[in-house]
């Protein structure tokens, strides 16, 4: 982790003297003894990355300026695909859904995770945290597709959720959660919260157990209550872990695909359509490669715009402690 | 003392509730998988006559033997190559510190946030152009590329902290860079490589979008991709669907429980670093 805290522009190992004395290597300028042929070590990884990530990114941007059905020749479209993305009510709604999902994928796991981790912090025994880690991590290990299938069944009219509601006398709430226009998107969000909550708890707890107890003792001597303690000792100390949780969960929310594909296919109507699934359907069902690519570019930029400030904030924060 | 005890109780309660919520979907899958095939179980209930044979039918329906083999082959294609080339790159960027390596590193970093949906359209045409659609290579090659940002980041982070004195000593003894890499640094990197190997295996196994776009034949897909096809085929037969899903989950679950310490450490570090 210490590596993240290093400003990426700064030269590495500024304090460490370089000591490569490669035999027969040309004496480097300015004492930098690194022959260029070492790039051969980087080349295979760079090639794989360039071939299957960088090149497709360039192609996505290119396609976004054309109308293309995937078969006939490309037809220049200027900015019209982008205009469609930003003016078409349905596509704007799809992007809006991604932001609604942030509420469920990020806010719920992090707020709940903070509460649970704070409650658990004081008494975490090795045995208990081992059990907690294994169980709470299960959703991270199973494929999202399986989570989707399991919850699809749980949330159906004959599923466990309605069954439990009826048992506790809330039978009037029971219905098809994923089939109802008003509850479909929140239900998809809850599936995501279920997947990410365990990860957030374990991450935050790991951060909290590293805080020196003397900090809490000092706060208590100063007469701080539990809330004050949480705000001025716990929160600042786990800023980095919170940053990680936010980063991971926001990316998961904006690029959600598997869960939605399996549980609702974007329906009912367009109630749970998200950018990832819309790109997939535009490209492979409607054969509108240009529009799909424009939405893809918007999605990639959106993720960067959301993530870079968070990373910047977290890195800046770790410098002044 | 009283406050402390109350905290313990509250903590256990919270943890208990959370564990129940986490396990509930799996329990619901399991009990309904035991109902007669094609029937409509209600929520979580125990069947009068548990049909253990459902797992056998699901095994056949999903062609599990072929699936395991296919996923295994994909793993064998993706993981060793990814580990090898990302270790090379991490070594050069983190330890040898090639000139201009910063630029390459920032380029890799950018890939860390990339949503796969962003490049799926050109990836489809690229793989089609290579004539690899519907083969396992259609998944293996793109996955290696897609794993590079994280893998290189991970290995570089390891090599940044690798002791430089060892390299100096080895050089004094006349070791070439190649020998230095294989004899000194790869053995030292074993824990980092193990964690990375676990993460890449899980991510490969669970990859869905690539599988459904690039491979139409379920038996050439990853586990998650095949599960998607299984749902499409048996979606209305709840007992069979759940039995099949559990079977497809089983290998991951067994691996997870067997290697839980490495898994959790890897995933924790993985998300911290990523």
Distance in angstroms (rounded) separating the CA atoms of residues A55 and A34: 29
Distance in angstroms (rounded) separating the CA atoms of residues A145 and B228: 7
Q: What pLDDT, on the 0 to 100 scale, is given for residue B120? A: 94
Task: Compare CB distances from B145 to A22, A52, A262 and report the shortest one's residue.
Answer: A52
Cis peptide bond N-terminal to A268, omega within 30: yes
Q: Answer yes or no: is A2 within a domain.
A: no
Question: What is the longest distance spanned by two Cα atoms in chain A?
Answer: 83
Tell me whether B133 touches chain A (CB under 8 Å). no
Judge contact between A211 and A234, C-beta under 8 A.
Answer: yes
Please answer yes or no on whether B224 and A8 come within 8 Å at the CB atom: no
Q: Answer yes or no: is A34 within a domain.
A: no
Tokens of A13: 């190992």
Report residue A317's pLDDT band, with 50, 70 and 90 as the boundaries. low
Chain B residues within an 8 Å CB radius of A163: 42-45
Chain B residues within an 8 Å CB radius of A303: 113-115
> φ, ψ for residue A75 (rounded to 5)?
-120, 125
Which residues, including other chains, have CB under 8 Å from residue A215's CB and lie 6 or more apart?
A233, A237
> How many beta-carbon contacts under 8 Å exist across A and B?
323
The pLDDT tens digits of the residues spanning A255-280 come to: 999 999 999 998 898 999 999 999 99
Q: What pLDDT, on the 0 to 100 scale, is given for residue A13? A: 37
User: What percent of chain A has a predicted confidence (pLDDT) above 70?
Assistant: 86
Please answer yes or no on whether A300 and B267 come within 8 Å at the CB atom: no
CB burial string A25-50: b at 16+ within 10 A, e below? eeeeeeeebbbeebbebbbbbbebbb
pLDDT tens by residue, chain B, 274 residues: 455 666 667 767 778 888 899 999 999 999 998 988 878 888 788 888 888 888 898 888 888 888 888 889 999 999 999 999 999 999 999 888 888 888 999 999 888 889 999 999 999 999 999 999 989 999 999 999 999 999 999 999 889 888 888 888 888 888 888 888 898 888 989 888 988 998 898 889 889 999 999 998 888 888 888 888 888 888 888 899 999 999 888 888 888 888 887 777 777 777 665 4
Q: What pLDDT, on the 0 to 100 scale, is given for residue A54? A: 95
Tell me whether B179 touches chain A (CB under 8 Å). no
- Chain position carrying tokens 């669907």: B241
Among A49, A167, A202, the strongest candidate for a mutation testing the B interface, having the largest count of B CBs within 10 A, is A49
Chain B residues within an 8 Å CB radius of A162: 43
Tokens of B85: 């080339």
CB burial string B170-186: b at 16+ within 10 A, e below? bbeeebebeebbeebbe
Strand, helix or coil at B92? helix
Q: Answer yes or no: is A289 within a domain.
A: yes
| pLDDT higher than 80, residue A121 | no
Report residue A123's pLDDT band, with 50, 70 and 90 as the boundaries. low
Q: What pLDDT, on the 0 to 100 scale, is given for residue A306? A: 92
CA A236 to chain centre: 22
Judge contact between A148 and A156, C-beta under 8 A.
Answer: no
Provide the whole-model pTM. Answer: 0.85
Residue B101, H or E segment: helix B101-110
Judge contact between B117 and A279, C-beta under 8 A.
Answer: yes
Tokens of A53: 């990530």
Q: Say which CATH number the domain at A193 has.
A: 1.10.3720.10
Q: What pLDDT, on the 0 to 100 scale, is given for residue A277? A: 95
Q: What pLDDT, on the 0 to 100 scale, is given for residue A125? A: 66
Structural domain boundaries in chain B: 2-57, 63-273
Domain limits for position A146 = 90-319
Q: What is the ipTM of this complex?
A: 0.87
The count of domains in chain A is 1
Report the CATH number of the B63-273 domain.
1.10.3720.10
* Highest mean pLDDT of the ranges A42-51, A237-246, B40-49, B184-193: A42-51
Q: Answer yes or no: is A183 within a domain.
A: yes
| pLDDT higher than 60, residue A321 | no
Please answer yes or no on whether B98 and A38 come within 8 Å at the CB atom: yes
The pLDDT tens digits of the residues spanning A62-91 come to: 999 999 988 888 888 889 999 999 999 899
Distance in angstroms (rounded) separating the CA atoms of residues A219 and A214: 8
Averaged over A27-38, what is the pLDDT?
Answer: 59
Q: Answer yes or no: is A271 within a domain.
A: yes
Q: What pLDDT, on the 0 to 100 scale, is given for residue A33? A: 59
Distance in angstroms (rounded) separating the CA atoms of residues B24 and B78: 33
Q: Answer yes or no: is A273 within a domain.
A: yes
Strand, helix or coil at A286? coil
Distance in angstroms (rounded) separating the CA atoms of residues A180 and A288: 29
| pLDDT higher than 70, residue A120 | yes
Please answer yes or no on whether A41 and B96 come within 8 Å at the CB atom: yes
Q: What pLDDT, on the 0 to 100 scale, is given for residue B6? A: 67
Q: What pLDDT, on the 0 to 100 scale, is given for residue A318? A: 52
Which residues, including other chains, have CB under 8 Å from residue B241's CB and lie 6 or more apart?
A149, A153, B230, B231, B234, B235
| pLDDT higher than 50, residue A24 | no
The pLDDT tens digits of the residues spanning A125-169 come to: 666 777 777 888 888 888 899 999 999 999 988 888 888 898 888
Q: Answer yes or no: is A300 within a domain.
A: yes
Q: What pLDDT, on the 0 to 100 scale, is given for residue B273? A: 55
DSSP B170-227: HHHTT--HHHIIIIIIHHHTHHHHHHHHHHHHHHHHT--HHHHHH---GGGS-HHHHH
**Shortest CA gap A138–chain B (Å):** 8
Report residue A27's pLDDT band, with 50, 70 and 90 as the boundaries. very low
Averaged over A20-40, what is the pLDDT?
Answer: 56
- A19: number of CA atoms within 13 Å, CB side? 13
Q: Answer yes or no: is A174 within a domain.
A: yes
Report residue A124's pLDDT band, with 50, 70 and 90 as the boundaries. low
Task: Compare CB distances from A12 to B97, B107, B274 and report the shortest one's residue.
Answer: B97
Report residue A23's pLDDT band, with 50, 70 and 90 as the boundaries. very low
> φ, ψ for residue A148 (rounded to 5)?
-60, -45
Judge contact between B251 and A140, C-beta under 8 A.
Answer: no
Distance in angstroms (rounded) separating the CA atoms of residues B193 and B227: 29
């Amino acid at each position: 982790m210490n590596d993240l805290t290093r400003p990426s522009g700064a030269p590495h190992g500024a304090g460490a003297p370089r000591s490569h004395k490669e035999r027969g290597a040309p004496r480097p300028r300015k004492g930098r003894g690194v022959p260029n042929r070492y790039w051969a070590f980087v080349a295979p990884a760079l090639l794989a990355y360039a071939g299957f990530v960088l090149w497709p990114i360039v192609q996505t941007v290119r396609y976004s300026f054309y109308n293309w059905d995937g078969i006939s020749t490309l037809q220049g479209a200027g900015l019209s695909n982008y205009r469609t993305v930003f003016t078409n009510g349905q596509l704007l709604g799809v992007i809006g859904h991604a932001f609604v999902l942030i509420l469920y994928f990020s806010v719920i796991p992090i707020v709940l995770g903070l509460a649970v981790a704070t409650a658990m912090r004081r008494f975490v025994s090795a045995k208990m945290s081992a059990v907690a880690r294994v169980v709470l991590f299960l959703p991270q290990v199973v494929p999202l597709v399986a989570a989707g299938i399991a919850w699809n069944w749980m949330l159906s009219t004959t599923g466990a959720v309605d069954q439990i509601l009826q048992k506790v006398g809330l039978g009037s709430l029971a219905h098809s959660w994923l089939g109802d226009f008003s509850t479909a998107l929140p239900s998809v969000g809850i599936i995501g919260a279920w997947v990410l909550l365990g990860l957030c708890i374990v991450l935050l707890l790991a951060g909290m157990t590293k805080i020196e107890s003397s900090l809490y003792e000092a706060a208590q001597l100063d007469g701080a209550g539990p809330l004050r303690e949480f705000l001025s000792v716990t929160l600042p100390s786990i800023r980095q872990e919170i940053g990680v949780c936010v980063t991971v969960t926001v990316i998961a929310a904006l690029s959600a695909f598997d869960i939605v594909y399996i549980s609702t296919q974007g329906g009912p109507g367009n109630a749970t359509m998200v950018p990832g699934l819309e790109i997939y359907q535009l490209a492979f069902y409607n054969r509108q490669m240009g529009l799909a690519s424009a939405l893809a570019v918007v999605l990639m930029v959106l993720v960067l715009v959301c993530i870079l400030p968070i990373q910047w904030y977290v890195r800046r924060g770790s410098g002044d402690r | 003392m009283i406050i402390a005890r109350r905290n313990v109780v509250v903590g256990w309660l919270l943890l208990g509730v959370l564990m129940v919520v986490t396990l509930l979907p799996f329990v619901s899958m399991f009990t309904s998988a035991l109902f007669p095939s094609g029937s409509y179980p209600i929520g979580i209930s125990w069947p009068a006559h548990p049909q253990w044979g459902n797992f056998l039918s699901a095994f056949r329906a999903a062609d599990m033997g072929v699936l395991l083999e296919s996923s295994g082959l994909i793993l064998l294609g993706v993981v060793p190559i990814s580990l090898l080339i990302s270790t090379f790159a991490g070594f050069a960027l983190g330890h040898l510190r090639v000139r201009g390596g910063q630029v390459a590193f920032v380029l890799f970093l950018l890939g860390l946030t990339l949503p796969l949906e962003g490049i799926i359209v050109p990836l489809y045409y690229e793989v089609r152009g290579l004539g690899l659609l519907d083969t396992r290579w259609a998944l293996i090659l793109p996955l290696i590329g897609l794993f590079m940002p994280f893998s290189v980041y991970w290995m570089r982070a390891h090599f940044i902290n690798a002791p430089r004195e060892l390299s100096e000593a080895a050089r004094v003894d006349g070791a070439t860079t190649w020998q230095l890499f294989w004899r000194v640094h790869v053995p030292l990197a074993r824990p980092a490589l193990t964690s990375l190997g676990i993460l890449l295996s899980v991510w490969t196994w669970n990859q869905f979008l690539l599988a459904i776009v690039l491979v139409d034949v379920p038996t050439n897909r990853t586990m998650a991709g095949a599960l998607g096809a299984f749902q499409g085929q048996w979606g209305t037969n709840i007992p069979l669907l759940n039995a099949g899903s559990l079977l497809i989950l089983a290998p991951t679950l067994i691996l997870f429980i067997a290697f839980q310490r490495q898994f959790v450490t890897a995933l924790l570090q993985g998300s911290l670093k990523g």
